[in-house]
C-alpha cells in the first residue's frame, strides 16, 4: 500500500499540471507499479486513493501538504524497497547523484521478483538492471529530488511557510494516517531502527544528537543534519498517531502513553541536537509541530511519571523554546 501511494502521488510533486495531466501521471504511475508487480490492480483502497488524488487541487497549499506527506512515504519506501538503492550506471540523469547521496548508507536487499525474462531464482544485484525497475527508480528519484529541494530550501517566502504551517496540523496528520495500512506504524518503527544503525560509522552523535566530528562547512555535516530533520518527520507522524489513539481510548493505557512518551523524548532530543548545531538557518515547520505535539503528550498524559526520560524530555522542550523565542528558525525579515 505504501508503494502504491508513493507512485500515485508522483504528479503532485512534479508540476502545476491540469486535472487531465494529473490523471495522466497517476494512471502512468499506476501502470508502472502494476507492470512491475508492486501492487494488485483490484485492490479497492488503491482504486479509492487513485480517484481521490485525481481531484486534488493544484494550489500551492495543497501541493505542499501532499509534498510533505509523500516525503515521509518516499523515505519509508526507499528504506524498504525490493531492490538496492544505488546509482545504476545505465541511468545518466543529473538528479541521480543528489538523490542517492541521501540514501548512501541504506542497507536494502537487491532481490527482484522473477520475470519472464529470467529464471525464477534470478537476483538482480549488478547491472544490467531490469527495464521496468529502472523506470520505477527514475520516477521515485524525481519525487525524492523534488522533496529534497522543498524541505531544505532556505529562501521560502512567507506564503509558502504559512502553507507549510497550516498544512501540517495534527488533525491532517491523523486523517492521512488513518487512510494507510495500520501495519505501517509498526513497519516504520522497525525501519527507523535499521536506518539509525546504518548511519555512517564516521558520524558521531552525543546523546542529544549533537554532531561533534564533522566541520559545519562540510558536506557530510549537512547530510547528517538533513537526515536528522527527516527523522523528526517520521517521529512527528508517529506521535500524532499515538496522540490521536490516546484521545480516542476510553480508558487510560499505560503502554500507549509510555510509547508516546518515548517518541516525544526522541523528538525533543533530536531537535535539541539539531538546533544546537545551528547548521541551517531555519528548520522545517514539522520540527516545530513535533515540539508542540510532544508538549501536548506530556501535558495531557503526564500520569505522575517521574522517571529520568520524562524529566529530560521536559527539560529539552523548555530548552528548545529558547531557540524559538530567538527566532532562530527564520531568515531575513520573514
Domain end point (choices 97, 125, 151): 151
Note whether residue 238 is domain-resident. yes
- Are 215 and 250 in the same domain? yes
- CA dist 99 and 88 (Å) reads 12
Domain boundary among 97, 116, 151: 151
97 assigned to some structural domain: yes
- Is 133 inside a domain boundary? yes
Question: Are residues 290 and 243 part of one domain?
Answer: yes
Residue 333, domain member (yes or no): no
Instruction: Please give the model's pTM, rounded to 2 decimal places.
Output: 0.41
State which residues form the domain around 282. 162-325
13 DSSP assignment? G
In a domain, 334, yes or no: no
Residue partners of 324: CB distance under 8 A and separation at least 6: 288, 291
Q: How many structural domains is the chain composed of?
A: 2
* Per-residue pLDDT tens digits of the chain, which is 334 residues long: 334 334 434 433 333 334 444 444 445 445 544 544 444 555 544 444 444 444 433 443 233 333 333 333 333 333 333 322 333 333 333 322 233 333 322 222 222 223 333 433 333 333 332 333 333 334 444 444 433 333 333 333 444 444 434 333 333 344 444 444 455 455 545 555 565 565 544 444 444 445 555 566 665 565 566 566 656 666 766 676 676 666 667 777 777 777 777 777 777 667 666 666 554 444 444 455 566 666 666 666 555 444 545 554 555 556 555 544 444 333 322 2
State the DSSP H helix or E strand holding residue 28, giving kind and residue range, or none if neither: helix 19-35
Q: Quick one: 174 and 139 in the same domain?
A: no
Domain for residue 139, yes or no? yes
Domain presence at residue 331: no
Spatial separation of the C-alpha atoms in residues 49 and 68, rounded to whole Å: 17
Shared domain check, 189 and 225: yes
Q: Is 118 found in the same domain as 38?
A: yes
Q: Is the same domain home to 177 and 140?
A: no
Amino acid at each position: 500500500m505504501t508503494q502504491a501511494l508513493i507512485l500515485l502521488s508522483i504528479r503532485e510533486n512534479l508540476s502545476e499540471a491540469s486535472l487531465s495531466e494529473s490523471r495522466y501521471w497517476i494512471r502512468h504511475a499506476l501502470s508502472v507499479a502494476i507492470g512491475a508487480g508492486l501492487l494488485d490492480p483490484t485492490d479497492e483502497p488503491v482504486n479509492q486513493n487513485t480517484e481521490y488524488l485525481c481531484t486534488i487541487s493544484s494550489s500551492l497549499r495543497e501541493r505542499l501538504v501532499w509534498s510533505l506527506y509523500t516525503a515521509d512515504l518516499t523515505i519509508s519506501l526507499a528504506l524498504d524497497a525490493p531492490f538496492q538503492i544505488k546509482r545504476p550506471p545505465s541511468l545518466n540523469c543529473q538528479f541521480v547523484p543528489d538523490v542517492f547521496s541521501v540514501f548512501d548508507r541504506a542497507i536494502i536487499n537487491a532481490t527482484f521478483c522473477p520475470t519472464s525474462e529470467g529464471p525464477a531464482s534470478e537476483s538482480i544485484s549488478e547491472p544490467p538492471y531490469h527495464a521496468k525497475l529502472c523506470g520505477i527508480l527514475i520516477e521515485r528519484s524525481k519525487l525524492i529530488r523534488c522533496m529534497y529541494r522543498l524541505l531544505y530550501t532556505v529562501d521560502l517566502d512567507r506564503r509558502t511557510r504559512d502553507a507549510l504551517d497550516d498544512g501540517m496540523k495534527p488533525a491532517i496528520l491523523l486523517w492521512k494516517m488513518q487512510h494507510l495500512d495500520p501495519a505501517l506504524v509498526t513497519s516504520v518503527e522497525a525501519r527507523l531502527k535499521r536506518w539509525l544503525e546504518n548511519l555512517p560509522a564516521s558520524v558521531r552523535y552525543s546523546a542529544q544528537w549533537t554532531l561533534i566530528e564533522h566541520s559545519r562547512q562540510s558536506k557530510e555535516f549537512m547530510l547528517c543534519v538533513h537526515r536528522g530533520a527527516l527523522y523528526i518527520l517520521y517521529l512527528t507522524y508517529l506521535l500524532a498517531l499515538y496522540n490521536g489513539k490516546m484521545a480516542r481510548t476510553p480508558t487510560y493505557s499505560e503502554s500507549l502513553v509510555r510509547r508516546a512518551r518515548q517518541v516525544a523524548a526522541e523528538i525533543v532530543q533530536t531537535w535539541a541536537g539539531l538546533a544546537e548545531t545551528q547548521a541551517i538557518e531555519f528548520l522545517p515547520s514539522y520540527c516545530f509541530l513535533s515540539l508542540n505535539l510532544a508538549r501536548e503528550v506530556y501535558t495531557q498524559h503526564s500520569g505522575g511519571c517521574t522517571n529520568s526520560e520524562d524529566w529530560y524530555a521536559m527539560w529539552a522542550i523548555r530548552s528548545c523554546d529558547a531557540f524559538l523565542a530567538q527566532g532562530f528558525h527564520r531568515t531575513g525579515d520573514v
